[in-house]
Structure 1
Amino acid sequence: MQLVLASTSRYRREIIERLGLPLTASAPVCDETPLPGESALETAVRLARTKAMSLATTHPDALIIGGDQVALLDGQQIGKPHTFDKGVEMLRWMSGRTVVFHSALALYNSHTGRLQEDVGLTRVTLRTLSDAQIRSYLTREPDALHCAGSAKSEMLGGALLERVESDDPNSLIGVPLFRLVTMLQNEGVEVL
């Protein structure tokens, strides 16, 4: 079966490509707005599922991987800032604090209709950051504006972090890879 990633994120793609399996990627069709009263975990799972299932008609005989990540601080979901000023504001708020990232994963078999879902939780404590450090980071890492809270752990983003607690280091980048291997095995795909 064809393996399809429902994402345009190069970071998600790079993580999955580590498995050495043939992979294609397509942009999913999904409104990422949280629903009223929806928890961060519920939002992440719903979006991962929606992204995977959105490609079923264009990939009718595939294993489709959907993923989404929602950050949570003080009971509030932290989205993607998209603008420099909003990124500064978010990183000021998160500075010196611990944020919980919910990295949802869905694997949809478009041939059989079987859906598997899971979530990796990562607790991230950010360093206490000055405004100059925040602005320097966002200037040097403009892609961070398309990440939850502008907090990337890849590349320069590692300098933001003081501590990371997770059962899968890949979850913070957006793909709980350990869980994905299990899901693929459940579909008869042997990675090793």
Structure 2
Amino acid sequence: MKELILASSSLYRKSLLQKLNLEFITASPDIDEHPKPNEQPDKLALRLAIEKALALQSDYPSHLIIGSDQVASFDNHILGKPGNHQNTIKQLKLQSGRSVNFYTSVCVLDASSGRYYTDIDLCTTYFKKLSDQQILNYVNLDTPYNCAGGFKAEGLGISLFDKIEGEDPNSLIGLPLIKLIKILERFDIQVI
């Protein structure tokens, strides 16, 4: 079996991949994650997953490289990571009582052949109508400044929602494991 590389510095993606009981190492790809003009959120997520895997191809020429990305979309606009306290509060106020789509992509690249497979999972979050105090309390407790959508679903962020719709609950945290397992099977890697 080829060795696996997770092309990510995300502790959450690493933790999710560890659920599959596969041996892997992580490496951080250096890519430009800015969207291209008029790029749709799903296309951006797929492109970034591919670029993350390809960015490590020359460093790990005999490995299978897993790239993944998540893009949040609100009213057909891409939501970036808020980056600081004020932007997080502003973003959550906009999302209060509304729905946000999360496109979480995965790419598995066979570095030796250049062959890769991709997939994407859509998860829709339906936010509760939140008071300013609830938003402030949440942001102070979870500090989700560098998270797509301005929340951490693996933490207190789950309390912000009325419901979540999607095929794979892991996608909202950052890695669509069900789709990843199916791709790994195409490379003859069985999880069970």
Do both proteins adopt the same fold according to a TM-score greater than 0.5, normalized to the shorter chain?
A: yes
Q: After superposition, where does 1:37-76 map in structure 2 within 5 Å?
A: 37-76=38-77
DSSP 3-state at the match of 2:169: coil
Query: Following the alignment from structure 2 to structure 1, what is the Cα–Cα distance between the partners of residues 190 and 154?
Result: 28
* Match status 1:163 vs 2:189: no
Deviations 1:14-50 (A, max 9, x none): 1111110101111111111111010001111111110
- Deviation, structure 1 residue 155: 1.5
DSSP 3-state at the match of 2:145: helix
- Deviation, structure 1 residue 97: 0.5
Query: Following the alignment from structure 1 to structure 2, what is the Cα–Cα distance between the partners of residues 8 and 136?
Result: 28
Decide which moves more: 87-96 or 149-158. Answer: 149-158
Query: Following the alignment from structure 2 to structure 1, what is the Cα–Cα distance between the partners of residues 42 and 104?
Result: 8
Runs of 4+ that moved beyond 6 A: none
DSSP 3-state at the match of 2:58: coil
- Deviation, structure 1 residue 151: 2.3
Deviations 1:164-190 (A, max 9, x none): 001111111111100101111101111
Counterpart for residue 185 of structure 2: 185
Query: Following the alignment from structure 2 to structure 1, what is the Cα–Cα distance between the partners of residues 134 and 28?
Result: 33
Counterpart for residue 119 of structure 2: 118
The answer as to whether partners of 1:153 and 1:161 remain within 8 angstroms in 2 is: no
Deviations 1:90-145 (A, max 9, x none): 10000110111100111111011111111000010011111221121111112x11
Q: Which amino acid aligns with 1:6?
A: A
Q: Which amino acid aligns with 1:168?
A: D
Query: Following the alignment from structure 1 to structure 2, what is the Cα–Cα distance between the partners of residues 107 and 32?
Result: 18
DSSP 3-state at the match of 1:45: helix
The answer as to whether partners of 1:6 and 1:51 remain within 8 angstroms in 2 is: yes
Query: Following the alignment from structure 2 to structure 1, what is the Cα–Cα distance between the partners of residues 33 and 137?
Result: 28
5+ residue gaps in structure 1?
A: none
Q: Which amino acid aligns with 2:153?
A: S
Query: Following the alignment from structure 2 to structure 1, what is the Cα–Cα distance between the partners of residues 155 and 91?
Result: 19
DSSP 3-state at the match of 1:72: strand
5+ residue gaps in structure 2?
A: none
> TM-score normalised to the size of structure 1?
0.97
Q: Which amino acid aligns with 1:134?
A: I
DSSP 3-state at the match of 2:126: strand
Counterpart for residue 34 of structure 2: 33
- Deviation, structure 1 residue 63: 0.8
Query: Following the alignment from structure 1 to structure 2, what is the Cα–Cα distance between the partners of residues 104 and 124?
Result: 17
The answer as to whether partners of 1:70 and 1:77 remain within 8 angstroms in 2 is: yes
Number of residue pairs the alignment of both structures matches:
191
For the aligned residue pairs, the C-alpha RMSD in angstroms reads 0.9
Query: Following the alignment from structure 2 to structure 1, what is the Cα–Cα distance between the partners of residues 98 and 152?
Result: 15
- Deviation, structure 1 residue 55: 0.6
